[in-house]
Amino acid sequence: MEKKFDRIKAKQLQERVVTPQQAASWIQDGMTLGLSGFTRAGDVKAVPLALVKRAANESFKVNVFTGASLGSDIDRLFAEAGIVNKRLPFQAEPTMRKKINEGDMLFVDHHLSHTAEWIRTGVTETIDFAIVEALSITEDGMIIPTTSVGNSAVFAKHAKNIIVEINTAQPELFEGIHDIYDTGKQGDRLPIPLTAVDQRIGTQGIPVDMEKIRGIVFTEQLDSPSTIVPPDEETKIMADHLLEFLRSEVRAGRLTKKLAPLQSGIGSVANAVLHGMIDSEFEDLEVYSEVLQDAVFDLMDAGKVSFASCCSITLSEPKMQQVYGEFENYRNKIVMRPQEISNHPEIIRRLGLIAINTALEFDMYGNVNSTHVSGTKMMNGIGGSGDFARNSRLAIFVTKSIAKGGNISSVVPFVSHVDHTEHDVDVVVTEQGYADLRGLAPRERVEVILANCVHPTYRAQLREYYDEALTRGGQTPHVLEKAFSWHTDLAKNGTMLQKKEQLV
Amino acid sequence: MEKKFDRIKAKQLQERVVTPQQAASWIQDGMTLGLSGFTRAGDVKAVPLALVKRAANESFKVNVFTGASLGSDIDRLFAEAGIVNKRLPFQAEPTMRKKINEGDMLFVDHHLSHTAEWIRTGVTETIDFAIVEALSITEDGMIIPTTSVGNSAVFAKHAKNIIVEINTAQPELFEGIHDIYDTGKQGDRLPIPLTAVDQRIGTQGIPVDMEKIRGIVFTEQLDSPSTIVPPDEETKIMADHLLEFLRSEVRAGRLTKKLAPLQSGIGSVANAVLHGMIDSEFEDLEVYSEVLQDAVFDLMDAGKVSFASCCSITLSEPKMQQVYGEFENYRNKIVMRPQEISNHPEIIRRLGLIAINTALEFDMYGNVNSTHVSGTKMMNGIGGSGDFARNSRLAIFVTKSIAKGGNISSVVPFVSHVDHTEHDVDVVVTEQGYADLRGLAPRERVEVILANCVHPTYRAQLREYYDEALTRGGQTPHVLEKAFSWHTDLAKNGTMLQKKEQLV
């Protein structure tokens, strides 16, 4: 027996080892799959690939439920093969995005903490196969996840069958950092006992009914590295504005230098903003987030972050090498939970997080669009931003004030899609400055956003819209027939700029 | 000493009894008041009135924070006197609404569970005077509320001064039904121990620092009765559709005949829908809601509801007489909590409520507008609908499919204000039928809404918009330049109907 079989400590399961092709052959047209994987981390790799290969000679479609986006080119290959009927709750892959926006596949854009409730109550299709990446299987049949937990536990519990991919390339030192907690059914549920970021409340692996493990596959392949780009001049300035806001909260006595547990959304901007804390006076920070990106480890290295809770770790290639190589230094500072717990309203509100997420655009009243380009085309999905923004102590959204060389303003009269309502957004930050919207009526919000966040190129234009809106009156004045004119001008003229002013 | 002084059991406070005029004289220009009162129940009556009288000879403005809407004409008198600078978090009074929409006063439309967090952390102005209606003050200085709890506890705890209005007209039998729980500060907070609708977790009154009680006023005046209208033919049909949906959930094994704790928004439609359960097969029901309206007591009388948790009781005049007269029969079936607890995401999600709220309009993708007429003019406010919809097991929104004799369709291409996003709305119900949106991609949602909810008069018109939108593509197809055309047509032509079809 090869050494890798030692990873299957429940000996009776060793005979269930199959090839990825065998496992993929069990999947039939119309089935629903629950795949491990959250923002390119801990996704199953071999069985999905074998399934894609089957599609060369066979016509079938499956529903694909995941934690969040998949790496390893799987979402791209799935999309190209045309084998996905419905995908939920999040994706971030260009080819799949195109298929979704062309109406070739269905995408349900779902709060990441909510999917587990649907699975548990059977609102969505029953999961035929949970396919879960693992470091190992324990003697009593617990699946030890790898670099993400995502929805793996709830998939495994409620699926008819389970396929495990044991990935021998994933760092074995990750064993022990997972904390799997099952909330149980609504109406028959105790309080989630978590009251501190570093608290463990569950088991180190996913307890499963061993009878359901139909097959085990071996793989040896690292996660796809993250695609974030390093901080640039503007993201550094945004980080400075955010720090300035946090300082004002300390001065007002609402925060201390320890701040409050930090959540930061996926992507370059949020990563850069978090990175900006390295040289700040803030210290002994805690992170309670979905994904740990490079910045959190940089902050740990700098002695700024003392503990981080997550449901996934997604790193750039160099950072992955460093962190995996020295994981002994990090493993007692990290716990990895199911996304239902990392994103749970109960915990987010109890701990009073500071939530920093990226906006695609926001409007003069503080409504935020996180998902739809010009109101129609899906970018990635809402992800956990709704879970966090609604329930946090501070819901902060960051975006550069302009895009495409100034042809797009990220601050508009009326967002073309609303993911976070005016009731849910506390602070907006651009490279121009920050606007603290808390406690303000809509007409007050316009003034602080105009004064602090809008790019100078668009300031007069937004003021002009607002002045006309004021002639119509209302709690939230608008000129409805022009509310989306910036977006329609962009489609028609390639720019939101309505006058021949100098582009930046 | 008059008998009413017996209501002040902490004898040392008896000397603090003053007239409403004296108490009102302490309030100065620029101050912030925290008033008891939630949907016309348990509001303070005498001091606000005395304050309004002062305004005849004096110019001043105050900020007015409450639980929700006030009764006793106070919001109207405040608005007419022009003494309100800022009002939060909810109102429902026509004169005040007009002032808000004219920009004459500021209104912050806030999730009802969130205001307590702002007060606690000092995000908003410090409360100079908490003015709270009470049945009595206990020996150890606890304030026993009357027909609502609302935000009274958090106001009293964090205010510089407290004025108590002891209302001898309020039913003394209410003593004992209140359950006051303080969550404590974010980050330093235990799980809220509530796991059952009928569980008590707090104290029977509001514990206060007696030193802060600056004055006590006596009043003798019942709450303003609710203004709901009885169920009509259409609301009965809507109730039937909702019952049919709930039956389908029972058939699918996701609910039992006991359903799950019910929340129902304020207003005639939600009341009528709840009323529709009287003759249903559902039984042993529980209510976990903000406001108990007439229907809940009718359901108790019919033996359908076994227990109800609330933060306020708002009844019509005849129902008030009956319920107050026979309160002995109800008091062991009711508990009244702070609105932070009645509306807390932690509890709503744990118990898995069925939340039924009224929409002003919803769109073909399931976004809901609860607040703004034609996107600009405030109706009442979001109230608790966001707290409940986001976190419930089932987020249901009800509205008649048309209004104003058919000139308005409540189902539109794009809602003119978004209070509940497509991510948060499970089921929409009109008198035409219900659409179950769970697990559906946007393009699927359009089809079920078109088939089941849109009034026949508008079906072809909505289909036409959607067909054109499909030519533009996207996850959520729209024709942005026409997205609000139904609303702008209404403003211009008095009707959303674009062709000369027969009005209903």
pLDDT band at B271 (very low <50, low <70, confident <90, very high): confident
Specify the 3-state DSSP secondary structure of B264: strand
pLDDT value of position B493: 96
Q: Tell me: ipTM over 0.90.
A: yes
Per-residue pLDDT tens for B7-42?
999 999 999 999 999 999 999 999 999 999 999 999
- pLDDT of A122 higher than 70: yes
Q: Please report which confidence band the pLDDT of residue B229 belongs to, taking 50, 70 and 90 as the band edges.
A: confident
Kindly report, residue by residue over B243-253, the tens digit of the pLDDT. 999 999 999 99
B68-124 pLDDT tens trace: 999 989 999 999 999 999 999 999 999 999 999 999 999 999 999 999 999 999 999
Q: Which of residues 180-209 of A touch B (CB under 8 A)?
A: 185-187, 189-193, 195
**What is the nearest CA distance from B454 to chain A, expressed in angstroms?**
22
**Which of residues 365 through 384 in chain B touch A, CB cutoff 8 A?**
367, 372, 374-378, 382
| Best CA proximity match to B442, nearest among A314, A100, A445, A318 | A100
What lies within 8 Å, CB to CB, of A273 at 6+ separation is A235, A238, A239, A242, A264, A356, A398, A429
Q: How many CA atoms lie within 13 A of B377 on its CB side?
A: 15
Give the B window 10-69 contacts with A, CB below 8 Å. Answer: none
Distances (CA, A) of A346 to A351, B172, B257: 9, 36, 28
CB B75: neighbour CB atoms within 10 A?
A: 27
Q: What is the predicted pLDDT for the residue at A502?
A: 53
Read off the pLDDT of each residue in B176-202 and give the average, rounded to a whole number: 98
- Taking CB atoms and an 8 Å cutoff, what residues of chain A touch B372? 474-476
The whole-chain average pLDDT of chain A stands at 96
Please tell me what DSSP assigns to residue B331: G
A–B interface: beta-carbon pairs under 8 A: 233
pLDDT tens readout for residues A1-17: 688 999 999 999 999 99
Tell me which H or E stretch contains A96: helix A94-101
Mapping DSSP to helix (H, G, I), strand (E, B) and coil, where does residue B74 land? Answer: helix
In B, minimum Cα distance to A98 occurs at: B474
A358: β partners:
A398
pLDDT of B227? 83
Residue B11 has what pLDDT? Answer: 97
pLDDT digits (tens, 9 = 90+) for B290-320: 999 999 999 999 999 999 999 999 999 999 9
Which amino acid belongs to residue B292?
L
CA pair distance A418, A428, nearest whole angstrom = 15
For residue range B350-408, what is the model confidence (pLDDT) as tens digits?
A: 999 999 999 999 999 999 999 999 999 999 999 999 999 999 999 999 999 999 999 99
Residues of A in contact with B368 (CB under 8 A): none
List residues bridging with B18 in a β-sheet. none
Q: What pLDDT is stored for residue A267 in this prediction?
A: 79
A67-110, pLDDT tens digit by residue?
999 998 999 999 999 999 999 999 999 999 999 999 999 999 99
**Yes or no: is domain B233-493 CATH 3.40.1080.10?**
yes
CA B314 – CA B275 distance, rounded (Å): 15
Residue A326 has what pLDDT?
Answer: 95
Q: How confident is the model at residue A1, as a pLDDT?
A: 64
Give the 3-state secondary structure of B460-476: HHHHHHHHHHHHHCCCC
Nearest of B265, B462, B121, B151 to residue A352 by alpha carbon: B121
Domains A1-219 and A233-493 share a fold: yes
pLDDT at residue A503 in the model: 53
pLDDT at residue B502 greater than cutoff 80: no
pLDDT band at B2 (very low <50, low <70, confident <90, very high): confident
- Domain ranges across chain B: 1-219, 233-493
Residue A228: the pLDDT is: 82
Tokens of A480: 């409805």
Q: Which residues of chain B have a CB within 8 Å of the CB of A470?
A: 103
The pLDDT of residue B504 is above 70:
no
Q: What is the pLDDT of residue A273?
A: 83
pLDDT of residue A400: 96
CA atoms within 13 A on the CB side of A198: 10
* Superfamily designation of domain B1-219: Glutaconate Coenzyme A-transferase (3.40.1080.10)
Q: CA gyration radius for chain A?
A: 23
Percent of chain B with pLDDT over 70: 99
Mean per-residue pLDDT, B209-221 = 98
> Mean of the pLDDT values across residues B450-465?
98
The pLDDT value given to residue B267: 79
The reported pLDDT for the residue numbered B501 is 57
Name every chain B residue with its beta carbon within 8 A of the beta carbon of A349: 186, 344-346
Contacts for B58 with CB less than 8 Å, ≥ 6 apart = none
Q: Is the link from the previous residue into A89 a cis peptide, with omega within 30 of 0?
A: yes
pLDDT at A454 over 70: yes
Distance in angstroms (rounded) separating the CA atoms of residues B20 and A220: 78
To the nearest whole number, what is the mean pLDDT of chain B? Answer: 96
The answer to whether the beta carbons of residues A325 and A374 sit under 8 Å apart is: no
CB-based contact A441 B122, cutoff 8 Å: no
Residue B500 has what pLDDT? 63
Q: Is A441 on the interface with B (CB under 8 A)?
A: yes
User: Distance (Å, rounded) from C-alpha B491 to C-alpha A192?
Assistant: 50
Query: Could you tell me the pLDDT band of residue B503, with boundaries at 50, 70 and 90?
Result: low
Alpha-carbon span B127 to B23, nearest angstrom: 15
Confidence tier at A284 by pLDDT (50, 70, 90) = very high
Model pLDDT, residue A270: 82
B250 CB within 8 Å of a chain A CB: no
pTM of the predicted model as reported, rounded to 2 decimal places: 0.97
Q: What value does the mean pLDDT take over residues B184-195?
A: 97
